[in-house]
Amino acid sequence: MFGREQAVVEAAVLEANAGFYAAFSAGDVVAMAKLWAEDVRITCLHPGSPLLVGRDAVLESWRVILREAPSSRLRCDHALVSLLGELAIVTGYEAAGEQPAHLAATNVFVNQQGAWRMVHHHAGPLSAPIRKPSAASRAN
Amino acid sequence: MFGREQAVVEAAVLEANAGFYAAFSAGDVVAMAKLWAEDVRITCLHPGSPLLVGRDAVLESWRVILREAPSSRLRCDHALVSLLGELAIVTGYEAAGEQPAHLAATNVFVNQQGAWRMVHHHAGPLSAPIRKPSAASRAN
């Protein structure tokens, strides 16, 4: 993949990743359901929790979590895309509002008919909070 | 992919995943270096720690961690493979010796010339320990 093409694909993955945090921040269960992949096994590790497997279990967990929209927007700082063909791994630090990040996240996306959709989410606590990057350096 | 072929591929991925925990348990830096992918960006989120990017940073972290071989073997309980073409996501619970699991793990592998090699590792604390499965139900 040439540099320009790769940048376009990475931007599309970052947009999908931002969509996940936007759905979370808005408490939007419908958007959350749409952004997860179909026809493949999806998996989710919420912070500290056992694994959830399959659309029913994963989307039910989001329905419960998003029953109340969070009081502040959830950010994903330092989002980094690693492209691997039709898959992409995004890593980042999750934070609420203007707070320092308190979770490390792994989000895996698969390209389905041109759309990047989530197949796996894993968020786990950071031992030490990571400060919000300055506006100039924010990846997302 | 047919059921039998899929089972063969999943077994190969589980073997690669077991190789990671064997290298960790043995404090084997050479084996650890070999099992990570080459010519693609590799990333690693050790429990609570910021992201490490690239072979130099990731392998240096393992050299430090494995300077002393752990006193007991590291297990990966309930290892589950999700195949996505040339990529595989393995989730599982990490535990030492006979202890209950204390970490949830995401391990991503890519097929490089027929060998499944790690491109991403993320381990994060579980809120509550998860008991060791009985011998009959152990996936790995």
pLDDT at B137: 59
Residues 6+ apart with CB under 8 A from A71: A97
What is the percentage of chain A residues whose pLDDT exceeds 90?
88
For the segment A66-87, the average pLDDT, to the nearest whole number, is: 91
Residue A138 banded pLDDT, cuts 50, 70, 90: low
Segment A6-30 mean pLDDT: 96
The residue ranges of chain B whose pLDDT is under 50 are 139-140
Q: How far apart are CA A98 and CA A92, in angstroms?
A: 16
Residue with tokens 């290298």: B23
Residue B115 to residues B10, B15, B28, B105: CA-CA distances in angstroms? 12, 10, 19, 21
- So what's the pLDDT on residue A137? 59
Chain B interface disruption, residue of A36, A77, A82, most B CBs within 10 A: A82
Cα A134 vs. chain centroid, distance in angstroms? Answer: 21
Q: What are the phi and psi torsion angles at A136 (to 5°)?
A: -65, -30
Q: Which positions in chain A touch B47 (Cβ < 8 Å)?
A: 124, 127
Angle at alpha carbon of residue A8, lines to A112 and A96, rounded to 5°: 80
pLDDT digits (tens, 9 = 90+) for A53-62: 999 999 999 9
pLDDT bucket at A3, cuts 50 / 70 / 90: confident
A106 touches chain B (CB under 8 A): yes
pLDDT in tens, A88-108: 999 999 999 999 999 999 999
Residue A138 DSSP label: -
Cβ–Cβ below 8 Å for A125 and B125: yes
Write down the ipTM of this complex. Answer: 0.93
pTM of the model: 0.94
A112 at B interface, C-beta within 8 A: no
Confidence of residue A140 (pLDDT cuts 50, 70, 90): very low
Q: Is residue A45 helix, strand or coil?
A: strand
Q: Which of residues 18 through 57 in chain B touch A, CB cutoff 8 A? A: 40-41, 43, 45, 47-51, 53
Measure A69 CA to nearest chain B CA, in Å.
23
pLDDT at B134: 84
Average pLDDT, chain A: 93
Residue B140's pLDDT is 47
